[in-house]
Amino acid sequence: MSEPKERLTRLIDLATQDVPENRRLLALDLCDLLLDWPAHYPANMREPFEALLEKTVRGIDEDTRRALAQKLGGRSETPLALLNEFYFDTPAETRDAIVLRNALLDGTAAATAMQNQTTDVAALIATARGKPQSEFAEAFAALLGIERTTAQHILGDHSARALAVACKGAHLGRATFSALALLTEAGAAMEEIHQRLSTFDGVPLTGAERLLHYWRTRHAA
């Protein structure tokens, strides 16, 4: 049996056995394949493997996700959808680069996808003020149309970069972002508060719209 056929057979076997360890091994094997793409494999074959990896990493442990994100995050050939999936597994500078790649993507802005989305800002701020963060995450997720785990990651980002992306992408405005940034990080030092509040202006609008649209699409799926 030839090496390419053996490799594909192993990937198929792992993909059809839906257990945690097999998902982890499948993700690792897919990552290795994409990083060392065989010269005799057609370039157009990469897309289904990239899509399978994007789906597979959603069901693996955080340590493995971070390891894969470290390998793929700085590669120019890594597709944007996969980078978006790894957003919360990467360091701050890589997150900024991911938002920028969303902003530079060719095509129409994601604002058209936001037209039917509305957010009750007053209810959002009232909930942030009156509820513990665990309960606020659920309300935040519902109001923005994203998964609860995504909302928890956003609110757990002490730099407020992810919150700035979510707020700017949802067209909530700087005042709303500032209120949420203060309410969700009570007790922070003044220097840290200043750094949190300053993140909003550095986020490109189109990049924020597209990344939020990705989070919402993932939730819908």
The DSSP code sequence of 109-162 is -GGGGGTT----HHHHHHHHHHS-HHHHHHHHHHHHT--HHHHHHHHH-TT-HH
pLDDT in the model for residue 72? 93
pLDDT in the model for residue 69? 95
The last residue of a domain, from among 28, 57, 90: 90
pLDDT tens, N- to C-terminus, the chain (221 residues): 446 678 778 888 888 887 889 999 999 999 999 999 988 888 888 999 999 999 999 999 999 999 999 999 888 889 999 999 999 999 999 999 999 999 998 765 454 444 445 557 888 888 888 878 778 899 899 889 999 999 999 999 999 999 999 999 999 999 999 999 998 887 778 888 899 999 999 999 999 999 999 999 987 76
pLDDT in the model for residue 114? 46
CB of 191 closer than 8 Å to CB of 182: no
Angle, CA of 164, 133 and 205, to the nearest 5°: 10
Intra-chain end-to-end CA distance of the chain, in Å? 38
Helices (H), 170-204: 174-183, 190-198
Q: How far apart are CA 69 and CA 54, in angstroms?
A: 11
The domain total for the chain is 2
Examine the domain organization and report whether 124 and 215 are in the same domain.
yes
pLDDT in the model for residue 150? 96
pLDDT in the model for residue 16? 87
Domain extent for 46: 3-90
Examine the domain organization and report whether 194 and 118 are in the same domain.
yes
Q: How far apart are CA 29 and CA 132, in angstroms?
A: 41
Contacts for 204 with CB less than 8 Å, ≥ 6 apart: 99, 100, 102, 103
pTM: 0.86
The answer to whether position 99 is within a domain reads no
Q: How far apart are CA 142 and CA 218, in angstroms?
A: 14
Examine the domain organization and report whether 141 and 78 are in the same domain.
no
Q: How far apart are CA 189 and CA 172, in angstroms?
A: 25
pLDDT in the model for residue 122? 83
Examine the domain organization and report whether 134 and 213 are in the same domain.
yes
